[in-house]
Amino acid sequence: MKKLKIGIAANILIMDSGMMPGIYRAYVNNDYVESLEKAGCIPVMLPVLSDIEDVKAQVEGLDGIVLSGGWDIDPFLYGEQPLVQQGFTMREVDRFYLAVIQAGDTLSIPIFGICKGMQAINIAFGGTLYQDIGSQMKTCFQHVQQAPRYDATHKISIEKGSFLESVLGKEAMVNSFHHQSIKTVASGFRITARAGDGVVESIERDSGSFICGVQWHPEMMAKHDNKIMLQLFQAFAGKCR
């Protein structure tokens, strides 16, 4: 069987030391690459393009798209001013993510968003974010865990009949590395998982080509042989077929 070619939307890494401080590098964390390989796919890095008009051509021919995590999203992109707790942003990266989502949707390429990737999906279709759940939500769990990246640190509850439920069941234990989350869910999407404190952990599109986002980092767990999270990548590959 021919292997699927899955594009991974990349980030820009600004080097702050070494021989060339300040240089920009295109990168994705290798956990994404290894997880997709374990799921039987061929991963392809999609570097940030300065010309957004070229993004459609960049993703044409791919079987699927994974949106990786990264820095905070520029709140101007969802109509808000930055709060004190808003973290570092790179608008060119954010606009690239939105262009990848638009191009993937136009070409009916299945999309799987992880952490920032899920948040970008929500913004691309008109949703908004909490810029900082610790200050904007009355009570919330620790969502930037103080534990190894592959350890699950809190539970999520999953909606019956969802794609996620078909893979993970009614509940799952996940890791957590974020301080922002979905506030208003985009039109055409439904929330399919939440943490016990109410933080949105997954969204799925109601109709059209497959689009799903999760707030945790399954690639970090799958890379370390978490079979349940590897099944999530395998199930996404199934959607891409």
Q: How far is CA 129 from CA 102, 112, 140, 178, in A?
A: 19, 18, 15, 12
Considering 41, 115, 140, 240, which one is annotated as catalytic?
Answer: 115
What is the per-residue burial (b if ≥16 Cβ within 10 Å, else e) of 128-165?
A: bbbbbbeebbeebbebebeeebbbbbbebebbeebbbb
How many CB atoms are located within 10 Å of the residue 194 CB?
A: 18
Considering 165, 201, 204, 219, which one is annotated as catalytic?
Answer: 219
Catalytic site includes residue 115 = yes
Considering 41, 212, 217, 240, which one is annotated as catalytic?
Answer: 217
Q: Are 28 and 68 in contact (CB under 8 A)?
A: yes
The rounded distance, in Å, linking the Cα atoms of 113 and 73 is: 14
Selection from 196, 234, 199 nearest residue 214 by Cα: 199
Q: Are 86 and 40 in contact (CB under 8 A)?
A: no
Catalytic site includes residue 240 = no
Selection from 222, 228, 225, 226 nearest residue 43 by Cα: 222
Catalytic site includes residue 219 = yes
Residues recognised as catalytic: 115, 217, 219
